[in-house]
Structures are given as C-alpha cells and as structure tokens.
Amino acid sequence: MQVHFQLNALPKFTNAVITIGTFDGVHTGHQTILKTLMEEAIKISGESIVITFHPHPRRVLNNADAPALLTSLDERIELFHKYGIDHLVIVPFDPIFSELAAEEYVELFLIENFQPKCIVIGYDHRFGKNRTGGFHLLSELGKKYNYTVCEIPEKTLNESRISSTNIRQALLTGNIHLANHLLSYPFQIEGMVVEGDKLGRTLGFPTANLYLIDSDKIIPASGVYAVSVHLKGAFSTRKFKGMMNIGYRPTVNGKERRIEVHIFSFDEVIYGEKLKVELLEYIRKEMKFSGLAALKEQLILDKIMIEDLLKNVRIEP
C-alpha cells in the first residue's frame, strides 16, 4: 500500500476506484466498503484508492462537538494496510477545504486529483459545504465525468447498527464485547510508559502507567479489563497477557484518571517504551475498598479470573 500526504504529488492512477471518508475505527461497515472497493477495482483492472481526512472534520468545523477517536491516524494506516488496498491518500482537512460546495468538491477535488472510473460510498455518505452532496449528485455528475457510483447499503450485526458512534457508546459503557464485535478486532490503546507512584509494586502487582500518544483517543469506561499487551522493541514486538485498570484509584483518593497495566510473568523496567494494549474482556467496575489489604485481595481474585478467561487465548511470545 502506498501512502500519500500531498495532493499535488499524487501519481497518475490507472482506472481509479475510490472511496472517501474519515473511517474512524475502520470497523466492519467500513470493511464492507473496502471489500467492494477492491472488487470493483479488479473488475476494471484498476487501482483501489481510499481517501481519508486528518484531522477529523468535526474538529475543524466544531471542535467542541468533535468525538473522541476510536483510532489514531497511525492506527488507521496500519488497519488499511491489512486490507490490501493499493493507495491511501490522507487529505489535510482545513477551513478552506470545508467551504467547497458539493459540486466543487466533486469537480475540483475528486475529478481533478483522481479521475475516478468508479466511486464507492456508504449509504449515508455526505460531502461538500453543509453536507449538501450525496448519492444523487454523485450519480448525476457521473454522467458528465464518465464514472459510476456504487452505494453500500446499511449493514447490521445482531440488530446493532454498525457505526463509529455506536462503538464509542459501547466502549464508554464497558461493553467491550460489543465494541470488539462491531470493530471485528480488539479495541486498542497505545501509549508511552511513564513513572507512577509505584503503589502497585508494593502490593505485588507492578504496573506500567500509560501516557496516551494521541490525546484525541477515546478512553473506555473505568474499570478492570483482561488485555493482551504488545511491547514494541527496536526490532520485534513481544506479546503478553495482562490486566488493566482505568480510573481514579478511589481507595487511595486518586485525583486524576490513570491507565495502569499489570503484565503477567513480566518484571522489567520499561519506562519510555511504547505499549499497545488490546482490550479483550471487561471484568468489573472501579471500586473503592476499605484499604490496601482489601484492594490486594481483589486484585488477586481479578488475576485468577483473567488468567482463567485467557487460558485458551494464544498470545505469541
């Protein structure tokens, strides 16, 4: 997959088949679009092209209303790479771009830069200033510019509408099972390991305190999770099982929300290292205990439960 950051440096595409969107999460609905994109490209011996935006358009148009993100830009790039598309074009979204009227968006942006033979869109795709453009305008202009439009209908899994909004809601309510089901992969958090107060170590549960690399990333519901942990080294990634706590640590009157990961069978100093944590199961809500002894007892029970849950989960060394 080739990744392009500059519109003025794009190559000349052969029979371009394009799709456009933010694709936050690259969830199962998005994956349906990508599958269709590649099928349509194969039909005409063309190139499959995903056009996405950074930052999220709502951060530019109305930052106060902008959602926390399911995926960082780097995570989106990694996910697109897995699905085998030919080109990913990352378009800087700014106030000037947002002012393009719908027809200008098609003519000055899509036609001028990509000369598409086919445009693949989701059933609710809107574009242009005030989101006035949609399927019908694309189809009408297709007659003039010689491209076809393929619209993907709404897809539903277990009566849950697949959308980034619904996945965010599932994460914020602790329904990690539903979120992962709609994503089709485990939701992940990536961060740098920073020093904490080392309380976990005194309890026999040393933790890696994570500082999120992307401040726009959504933080799921507070509580304890079963996780897999990917420790990224210079030449390889090691993987472990573990447990993670998100919350304010009410037992010790914590004042700030923290993300702490206890890695099973691991006792190395990794300050400054990068961790990717995949959330596999939500175990329980954050609780306030009568003291550190009671907290330690619960942590032992949490670990026993998580080890049992993950005993058949294969984590490569």
For residue 183, what pLDDT is reported?
A: 95
State residue 317's pLDDT score: 52
3-state secondary structure of 304: helix
The answer to whether 2-160 and 186-309 have equal CATH topology is no
What was the pLDDT predicted at 51? 97
218 CB contacts (<8 Å, ≥6 apart)? 67, 68, 69, 70, 168, 171, 172
* pTM given for the model: 0.90
pLDDT at 235: 67
DSSP codes joined into one string, 45-65: T-EEEEEEEES-HHHHH-GGG
pLDDT of residue 145: 96
**For residues 188 and 49, what is the distance between their CA atoms, to the nearest angstrom?**
26
Nearest residue to 209 (alpha-carbon basis) of 249, 256, 260? 260
Q: Which CATH number fits domain 186-309: 3.30.1330.10, 2.40.30.30, 1.10.1040.10, 2.30.40.10?
A: 2.40.30.30
- pLDDT tens per residue, the chain (317 residues)? 999 999 999 999 999 999 999 999 999 989 999 999 999 999 999 999 999 998 888 888 776 778 899 999 999 999 999 999 999 999 998 889 989 999 999 999 999 999 999 999 988 899 999 899 999 999 999 999 999 999 988 775 555 678 899 999 999 999 999 999 999 999 999 999 998 877 888 888 999 999 998 888 999 999 999 999 999 776 678 899 999 999 998 898 888 899 999 999 988 888 989 999 999 999 999 999 999 999 999 999 999 999 999 988 777 65
Q: Write the burial class of residue 269 (CB in 10 Å: 0-12 exposed, 13-18 middle, 19+ buried).
A: exposed
Instruction: Report the Cα 202 to chain-centroid distance in Å.
Output: 35
The CATH number of 2-160 is 3.40.50.620
∠307-310-312 over CA atoms, to 5°?
125
95 upstream amide cis, omega within 30 of 0:
no
What Rg, from alpha-carbon coordinates, does the chain have? 22
Displacement of CA 271 from its chain's centroid (Å): 25
Domain boundaries, the chain: 2-160, 186-309
